[in-house]
Every structure is written in C-alpha cells, then in structure tokens.
Structure 1
Amino acid sequence: SLQIFVDGVLVGITSTDENGEWSYAWVVSDFLEVGNHTMIIMAPEQGYHRLGSTETVLTVAYHTGMTLQVDSTVITRGGAWNFTGRLFDADSSGHPGMEGRELAFRLDGQVVGTLTTSIDGTFSYTHDVGYAIARGPHNVAFSFSGETFYLPVQYNMTVYTRADIDIEVFSNNLAIIRGDPDAPIKLQGRILEIGGEGNVMHNMTIALYWGDSLLPLIGNPWQDDGTEHFGLITNAIQVMPPGPLTLTIRVEPDGSRYLNGDSIEVEVMILISVVFDFEPDSLFLAEGQRLLEGSVNVSELYTRQPVPDFPLSAYLVNSTCDNRDSSTHFSRVGLTDQYGEFTYQFESVIGLPSFHNDSFWGELRVCFSTDSDFVDPINKTWLANFHGGLDIEYEQQDPQSFQPAMYALVALIVLGLVAGALVLVRRRKQAAIDEFAGVFSYTAELLAAGDEVREAIFNCYESLCRILMRRGFLRRDFETVREFELAIRNALPISEQALVALDRIFEEARYSSHVLGEPHRQNAQMALSTVLQEIDELQDIPERDSFLTEA
C-alpha cells in the first residue's frame, strides 16, 4: 500500500497493481491554497520490503473560464465571422478578467490566427472566410494554453458557410407565338455556385414568373441529359401583350446543400400570328374612275380577335408586287383602328388621267406589307412576297363605242400626216420645241433624283419665262400669273388637261407656304410627264406675229 501526504497531511491511501503501477484520484479541497505544495508518496515496511518514499511538488492552479459569441453562425462566402468573448479566472470571486493573454483561433483544427485579450479579459476577432471555403458546417475554437497558476481552456463552436449562386440563361432565336403550343417560351441555362470549385448545381427548385404570376411549366425543368442544365418551357398565354416581355426566373435556397437562392430577369419577344382579310379581295376599275379604295382587317389567328395599332402599308403599283420598289405610283401607311381595320385610298387628281388609262398608269395592282416587329415572320413574309396583291379588273368598252374612237383615230392619223409635212417645211421651229422639252425633262430628272421640290419647280418656271420672253410670247415686265398662263397656252398648243396640271404645280410652288412633300413631288412628276408626252407630239410653235394677231 502507498500513503499520499500533502504538506505533511495524509490525503489518501492506494495500492499498486501487479506491475507496481498505481493511480489515485483526489479532489483538491478549497482549503488548499493556490501555489506550490510538497507531496510525499510513502511505502511503509511490509514483509520483506523496507520503508520507501518519494517527494515532488504539487502546483495548485486556478480554473480559467471563457465566453464566446458570434454575430451569426451562418454566413455566405465572401463574408466574415465576427467573434467576441472574455477570458476570466473561474475560481476567484467576481471572475476577474485575464488581460494580456494570448489566444489561438482554430478553424477545423488548424490554427489560422492569434489574438490578445484586452482590459478585463475581453477580446474580439474577425475572420474573413473568402470564397474558397467549403460549404457546410465548420468547427471553430478559441484556446488558452494556460500558465503556471492558470489552467488551459478551449471554447468550441460550430458555424456554417453558405454559397451564393449565379443563374446563366443561354440566348436563343426561337420564335415565341402567343397561343401557339408549337412555339412556346423556351429558356435554357445553368446554375453555378459562386466560389468553391464553381460547380454546376443540379435539381434546385426553380420557377418562372411573369410579374407576380407563376407560369405553369411543361415537363421537368431538370432533364437527365448529363449537362446539368435547366430547361423551362411554358406557353405564351393570350393575356401576354405582343412585344418585349420581362419574365423572372427564381431559384429557391437549398438548405441541405447550403446554397442561397437567386432570381434573374429575362426579356423575351412575344409574337402574334395574324390573319389578313381583304375587303374587297379584288378591285374593279370603271372607265373614268379616279378613286381606288378598300380595307384590310387584321385578326389574331388563334382567337380571331381584332388586332389594333397594327402597322400596314398599301401600294398602288404598275405590274407586279415583286417590282414594288421601282413601280409604285402611290403608297399609304397607317395603323389598324380599335377594330383591327386598316383603310387605304388612292386618287388620281384632276389634271392626270383616270386610273382606267392603262397606257398612262400601266396595269395596276394593290400590294401590301407590314413592318411590325411583333408579328410572326411567316405572316410578314407571306404578305410582302407571296400574297401577290389584289387583282384589278378593268371595265371593257362596248365594241360599238369604238367606232367614234376609230374615226377620231383616223382623223388624228390624217392630222399627223399633215403635221409631218409641215415639220419638213418648218424644221427650224423644231429647235424651239426641243428647248421647251429640255426644260421639262431636266426638271423631271431633278425631281426623280430627290432634289427639293419647290426649288426644282420654281427653276422650271423661271426657265420657261425666259424662253417665252425671248420668243415674244411674254413681255419682259409682266406682273401677273395670268399673263404667264396666257403665254404658255399660246406657246404650247397642248391639251387643256396638261395645261391645268402644269399651272397647278407652278401656283403651288410659287404661292404656297407649306412644305412640299412626297405627294407634291409625285403630282409634279405626273404633270411634267403628261406635258412631255404631248410635247413629243407637237409639230410646231406659233410665230410671234400670229400670237400678237390673236392677242
């Protein structure tokens, strides 16, 4: 047996085992002061064994205590843990703080920082987690290694790291047609964790919203195709307006994988498929008719509801719609009204031949197009390239009605022969006709080239005045338009219709104050074309003497 003495006081008796080893648990009593004490282990005489003893120093130290708090046990990569705490003497009254002691900070068992306690043993420590740290739980510990009279202490805590996600949406050029199940909204993309290894995340809870409305998805957004990409498919419902539409992809947090949620806005283009109803679906031109008009009703294919504010253009062309760019006489551009109706109207103004005159206008046809950004491209292409426009049927004249025309034609031929003979005799006067024709032709070329309308017409007017004055049809100090009109009528024996059209464009250019636009350019070109056509048929210009005699 062994006897244990502390400072000469027996505190316990124990025995050795078969190997001579022994142990003894003794709770230090409060009466034993902190400091160094003498401990003697004595083995009394026993049988053949003599008395034996050994002596050592027993140091009694204080217990140390520690408190620890953290702002949040759960943070996201890129954030920081903010710890605060206190190191103190746990045995002394009032638990006085232990100032100036060094503490070690361990993360998952590895020392990653040290700190020193301040007044009253308090301490604070911030650890930036960065982006490389793994998602999930982590063990952190603050430890004090102890001193001669203070025992070591360690405080352990479990904290957690989460990761943000990044939603990527792949671009596509798929047409989205409202109400068409074969052309739904299709969005594809992937979800990446931010930080760590940047893994592609799969099977997260994902939804598609339009405003606050949850859109029903077709099928499973997560297909087992090995890509770990998501695919969202939903029909474009009728209440969605055509044009750009903002949708929101929302991904819910995944607590089991310590992933935060996120959302992203995606803009898609909603198109509509339409039907064009033409009223009438063909046009009829009576002899002498100067007005062509009709309408187009635009409705949505799947609901037959009218489509308001739909842009349409109508063209009155010569020949076919394929040559619309080079053979358009008139065009009308507008929007459908609230009932989906677009109306068009073309008019041949007084001074120009009626539309029935195909020798002047050519074989007419009405063509259409739309520049809407919100219509199915198939509809747009069909209207411009495959519809072919509206046929125009011309009124046929009664064969008997051609007899007077034939007589007139014979008379014109006779007159033409006579005029031809006169031309041979009076060839020198042809130069004057060419001079007038040159002015009109040059002006027509300027208008066709896009020159300013008023300036081109006014220059034509001045050139004609100089010719008329040089040939004696107009006095040099004339003041009124009536004098010019009388002079041009006497100088150019062309039809009343052509002269009226010519007078109108000169009056418009000289006296009007409004801007002359494309319609005025077209009217001027038509008037000049008519005059040139008739000048080509002129054989002579009256002499000044005959003009003065008639005056």
Structure 2
Amino acid sequence: MNSKIYVGCTNQTTIIIKRLIYFKFSTNNETKMAFRNKPITICGNVLDNMNEAPRGLIDGVMQTYKVRIYWDRTYLNPTDDYIDPLAPWNEDGSTLQVRVGNPEVVTSNNSGYFEARHIPDLNHNPGKVNVTFYFENSTFYEPAWGMDVYEVWVHSMLLLTYGPNNKIFRNTTIAVTGKLYIDPTEDPQGGSGLPDKTVKLVWTDALGNITSLPDALTNSDGIFTVTVPIPRSHPLGVARLHASYGMEEKYGYFPYIKCENTTMFKVVSNTTITMENKTVFKGETVQITGIIRDDQNERPNVTLSISIHEYGIDGELGRVVTGIAGNFSYTYYVGWDKSVDNYTIIARFKGNADGDGSGWYLSSQGTCILNVMARTNITRLSVSELVRGEKFSVRGRLYEDWAGVEGAAVKAGEPVSIILGNRNLGNVPVSTEGDFLFVDMVPSDMPLGEVPLLLSYNGSAYKYSPSSNLTYVSISARTTIEFESISPNGTVTKGKTIIGYVVLRDDMGARLDNKTVSIYYSIGDSTDLVLISDNCTDSSGSVRFTWVFNDVQKVKRVIWAFFNGTTITLQNGTEVVMYHGDSTNYTFDYKIPVKTVPPDYTWVFILLFIILIALLIMWAIYEINKRRAIKNMQRIIRKAADQLVAGNAYAAVIFKAYRQLAATMKKYGYLRKDSETFREFEKAIRVALPIDTQSMDALLSVLEEARYSKHEMNENDRDRAIAALRAVQMSLQRVSLSQDQLARIQQSTKAIADEDEPEILVKDKSGLVKVDDTVLSSAPPSPVTPPVSPVPSGGPVGPAPMQQPQMPQQGMPPQQPPRYPN
C-alpha cells in the first residue's frame, strides 16, 4: 500500500534450517582390528536426522563437509617433537588424542562416507582404543561428536626348524625345534619370544592320516622342541607338522592373535640297485637287468628313470624306466670289435627326492659284471701221414667265430687238445696269431684204418666258448717182406728148380695173410722184371714160389719180391693207404753145367814139370851165386895167405882182405850196402862161409885185430894169421869139388871181368916188392901151396886132399908165386 509518509518496503529474511548430524560406524569388528606398525583404515558415515547424508549441492552451491578424527593415545607418551602423520591437534594442545588424517577429512557428498589411514606405532600397547570423530559446524548442519572403539592386536608367529632339506627316513625319530615369537615388524625388539606358551602339534602323513602330538611348552625364549616318531610303515611322501598357538588375553583386553605354522617334511627312502652278472658273446645282445628296492627292501610302486653306464667310458649307454615293481632291463649289443674281457656295467638312479616333491627316493647305483666272450672255431689246416710208430704233425688255427667268419685270433697260450681215436696225445698252446703245430709219435699199438682225429678246445672261463674239429684220418703201417727160405742157396744151375718162401709182416712183427705178393726175376743188371708169380699170403703170412732158369746167359739172377700195399676208403670217399708196400731181392750166381767127359790130366803133369824145371833152375842159380861168392872169398883168403908168406906187410894184407871180403858179401846180398860195423861183417861172413866154427873164430880174430889194434905186429902175429888163413882155406877146399861139379853143369857161366884181373908184384930199385903200390917186403916171398887140380870128369866128387907146401931145394932159386885165376 502506498503512503505519503512511509514509503512502502519489503523485507525478506532467509531462514536456514539446520539438520542434526550423527555418526554411523560399522558393526564388523574385524575391520576395527589394528596392528602395530601396520596401517588401519578408520572410517564411518555422517548422516543427518533425516538419515540422509549431507547434501552436496544446496541452492546451487556445492557444499563441503569435514570430519576431524582423533586416535586415543592414552597409553603413549608422546613428546612435542613426535613426528606422526596424525600429529596431535587441539586448540589448547593439551589433549592426548592423536589427530587422524588431515585437519579436515572431506566426506562424500553421496553417502557421507569418510575414512582416514592410521599406523599405530611399535610401542603401542595392545588393547582397545577410543577413536573420536568431530563433524564441524556448517551452514546447514549442526556440529556433532561421535566415538567408535578400535582394538590394537599383536601378531604372534611360529617357526619350525629341522634340517637343511627336511628329509627324513622311516623307522627313525626326529626332533623338531620351534619358536613362538612376536611378529618382528610389530615388536621394537624385532621378534621377542613368548615364554610359557602352549603350542599344539599335529602330524599329518602323505595319505592324510592325522596324529596328534603332545603339546609343547615354550621356554623363556619362546623355544620348544617336539619329537616325532616315524614308524617303519610310514608312507613315503610329504608329511606335515602343524603347530598352532591359540588366543590369550592379557590385561583384560590386550590380545595376541592366534598363529599357526605348518612345516612340510619329505619322508624319503634310500634305494638299493641289485643287478645280475651277465655273460654275452660277441655279436649278440644281452639284457642287463636289475631291481631297485627301497629302505624296506621292497620294490617301489612307481616308475624310476635309470641310466646305464660302462665303467671307464664317458657318457651313458642308455636310459631305462623301471616298472612299477622296480625291475628294469636294458638291451645291450656287443660288437665284434669289443675285446674279450670282463666289463663293469653301472646302473645309476639319480633320485627324485630333490625335485618338486613328486618323488621320495634317494639316489643310488648298482653294478654288475658283463663277461664278454667269443665263440671259437678250430680249423685243421693240415695233417701229415699217420704211420704207426712214426712222427706226425697236425697244423691248425683257433680263432673267434664271428657268425661264420674267421675273426680275431684267440689270446696266445690257449691249449688245444689232440685226440687220436680214444687217446689224448697231449695239448699244444696257440701262438699270438692263433696258429698251433702239434708234433708227436703215432702210438705203435693204434688200430689201423679210419680213426677220428679230434681237435678239442675246452674253452676258457669268462673268455672263450669250447669248440672242436672232428675229422677222420687213416692210420697206416709199414710192412716188411723178406725171403724166409730159398733153395738152392747162392748159386743156381741151369735147369734146376728154385723153391722159395716169402713172408710178409707188419710193423708189429705180425704176419699178414691174404695179401698179394708178386715175385719177379731180372737177369744181370737189367731193370726189366719178369713175373714169376702173383699170389696171396697164406694164414702164416707166407707165399711159396718155384722157378727154373733155362737160358744160357752166364750172368747173375735176381729174384724180386714185391708187396704193393693195401688201401681203404674213408667215409668221405677218399682212398688212402692202410699197409705200405715193401720189396726185397735175392741174388744168385747162375751156372751152366758142361758136358761130362773123362778128365785129361796131361796138362797138369806138364805144368808140374815146368814148375819143377823152374824150381831147379832157380835153385841152380842160387847155388851158382853161392858158390861164386865162396869161390871169390876163397881166392881172397888164399891170396892174403900167400902174401903173408911172401913177406908182404901184415896190416896192409889183412886190411885189404877184410875190405875185399866185405865187398864180396855186399855184392851177393850177404851184407847190406850201408853196413859198416865189424859185428855186421861177422854175422854176414858166418852165413856166407860154410866152415867150421874154430876156423871162423880164428879168421875173425885176425881180421878184427888188424882193423882195430894199434900195436906193432911181430912174427908171431904173422904166423898166427897165416895159420888162420890156411885153416879157412883148407875148410873151404872140402866143399870145392861140389862147387866145381855144379860149375860144370853151367858150362856157359863165365867169370866176372874184375875177378880175372891178375895180381902183379913189382920190385923197385931198392929191391922192395909192392902190391898195388903197397910195400910188402924186400925178402923173397914165402913158398905157396900149388893149386889143386880138378878131378877129371866122371870121378868122385868131394873134397880134394890138400898138398903140403914144399920148401925150395938147396941151391935152387926161389920160385915165383903162381898166378891164380880169380
């Protein structure tokens, strides 16, 4: 309305209607569990009295609402310089509460939700904590206070320790050590032990069987020990030891969080691999087998991988998997180049208990001996002829048989037995090339014919297999054929029958019957043989034959006996000798008889007459020479005597006579040409002169004295010499008639020229008489005896009477000595 006094006016007043605020907190206490040194979220919702969250947009203006949160620190002793994200805040600074979050925690405009993070420090006591919430005054909402209860808890921890790998074995008792302690992250001391606490323990095996163990009580350090028996029948695998610590309160509300720990143990088993020693031949395969067993000597019921190795060779031969019964087998091929020897084969199980828990068997290995052998074969290269009682040789080779092919030689020294028939003749070692040579005598009592020859090798343990070579050979024997008797013996006459027996024997001396013996003959040195007979020996081994020679060749005859031997046929069709042949011969002188006529002995008488005449002539010549020698020596002696009588020098006459006598005896063979001693002269003259011993001794005495004496000869010596010479002269005259008669028979005999030479006496002016320039004497010569006249023919023959020398008559001149023929 208008007025002239008051101006109309209006007044608009804005009335702000505020709503009341309250806090709504979660009823889930688990979200209100706080832990030292671990963040916790403190949260809630702000609602108004309309049970709505404060609006964010009012009258077009976005509103912001703030909540202050305080953590009760009654049990803390903060200092002014304490640094914490929730630093103390109050207007007067006297509160013991801790401001949580920023000074203003903005709520959500949609739900009124707010939150702030807080970390209780390490020194915070366990227990309940009052948390205060303040909603600040706003335009449309009244301020409000709220409080919620949080709890500070402590985490306890359990630790179980046993070994480095927690492997345990059955049939043992283990001791496990544990510790109950505060979580180090929540303990100022970094994990203090909780003393006098009871820890419950439970053991669960791999099959899920649960065994409750006695409770353990911790000591002052929170440590405890529990013993766990592991029975023999405990299943292998992962077993679990579960330790737990339950809730305990202290100071009424201060809790320790229940803790538990489960430690896994591996119940494992040692393993044992057993293998069988194997023998295999080159070029063949062998199954290397074995069994793996656990610590209960039982076979695992799982498959295991096993590697196969050979000792000394790097790498593995192969890999096998066991059956569920623990057995395994590996096929191994042995090549031809592998040496004969013993080899160690190793089976290795690496174990499977170190992996991811899928295996419970520890590693092991087993060994076996693989004896690599070789099959052998014997080849007979050659065999010499086998004759009873004689040497024979067998040559062969022992080698490895590589599937029918000659392989490597066996090792040197391996023995090969030589068996002939049923007799083991001995062993022979093989050389480095596998060759052998056996030399021995064939037993003399071996049966003849075909016999087995066995070359046997018995093998060698762990090296070579036995082998043999059987062939059939022939035993033969030497034979002897000889003439048992033959008639006639030595000489056979034309037309006469020869009867002979030939005997055939073997090398044992036994006579052989029913054997063909051929009898031949040959003439002279001819090689042409003529068959006489061809017959078999009888039961006594003899053959009789007869033959008559009627030809006229005057040469020797030879009877020949031949045995050509016998043969047999071996099983292989080969024809061989059983009895060796032999031959012998007998030689005759062949005589052809002459016709029978009366014997004519005329030629015998003529021959005897001629022989007689020849003997007489020889005797006559001998006697003539003998008489000549005697006559010459008679002349020498007579002349010497006459010269002595004539007065010639004694020594010269006697010595000359000695020399002439010696020369004569040498000439007619009575004295050797080189004889010089007087004793030789004496022996010869005693033979040459047939005179009496006395006269001979006297002559020799004179001759020896004249030759060797040194004294002067006197008249007595001369007379004695003359007497000795005359005595010899007279003794020779007794046989002179017979000599003259013999001389007449040989009228044609002439005197030797030097014997007819006369002796000449020369007288020089002084009147000395010389003979051959030798001075004899100046005196006239002594008278000499005249020669004896020969007896007229037809008169008696005998010694002529010796005339006495006559002295010269008084008044007559002395006579000259006569000259005598020599």
Calculate the TM-score normalised by the size of structure 2. 0.34
Structure with higher helix content: 1
TM-score (norm 1): 0.47
Which has a greater percent of strand? Answer: 2
